Amino acid sequence: MPFKELVLASHNAGKLKELQAMLGASVRVRSLAEFSEVEPEETGLSFVENAILKARNAARVSGLPALADDSGLAVDFLGGAPGIYSARYADGQGDAANNAKLLHVLKDVPDAERGAQFVCCLALLRHADDPLPILCEGLWHGRILHAAQGVQGFGYDPLFWVPERDCSSAELPPAEKNQLSHRARAMALLKQRLGLA
């Protein structure tokens, strides 16, 4: 492992805890909130671009290696939308509004055409000007339900059917979700690249 600590390019305490647990005790993960109250605008046109943009900003303001995550839901019938706009699909009105909009847009679409995947792109930069970021992607394939099911998780979890478990993502215990999810898959690849697996 080339370093003992890094900064997570996020103010999200839940994401910090989750990624710290996935990386283990050999690396101390610090929050961007320790260094700056401001998060950069996500102006990229892909998950990769936004992850790199966030990691560069975090490395610049902290002086530490930085890890950023850009995630979202890509629905096949919608050509990959909401994609990078997943969190603000319903104009920033929150998870319930995002889910309602997605259900409305897909209301007459049959099951066979409701395929979707959660996407996670992790970007790790050794320093702010790192020309060779480590990029790891995780995909979690499923389909969009016709109505919400389950109360666990957040975001689109109640609408995301997990075929291998025959339930929605929001019906999975958190520990099980964290072994199957797009973020877990991307993190497993990153740990391999860093020699932590």
95: annotated active-site residue: no
Give the per-residue pLDDT at 12.
81
Structural domain tally of the chain?
Answer: 1
Structure confidence by residue, pLDDT tens digits, 154-190: 899 999 999 999 999 999 998 899 889 999 999 999 9
The CATH number that applies at residue 29 is: 3.90.950.10
User: pLDDT band at 17, cuts 50/70/90?
Assistant: confident
Show the tokens assigned to 159. 């609408």
Please pick, among 70, 76, 108, 130, the residue that the annotation labels catalytic: 70
Kindly tell me if the per-residue pLDDT of 1 is higher than 60: no
115-125 and 5-8: which strand pairing? unpaired
Residue ranges making up the domain that contains 63: 5-193
Give the per-residue pLDDT at 9.
95
What's the mean pLDDT in 132-140? 97
The answer to whether 173 touches 151, Cβ cutoff 8 Å, is: no
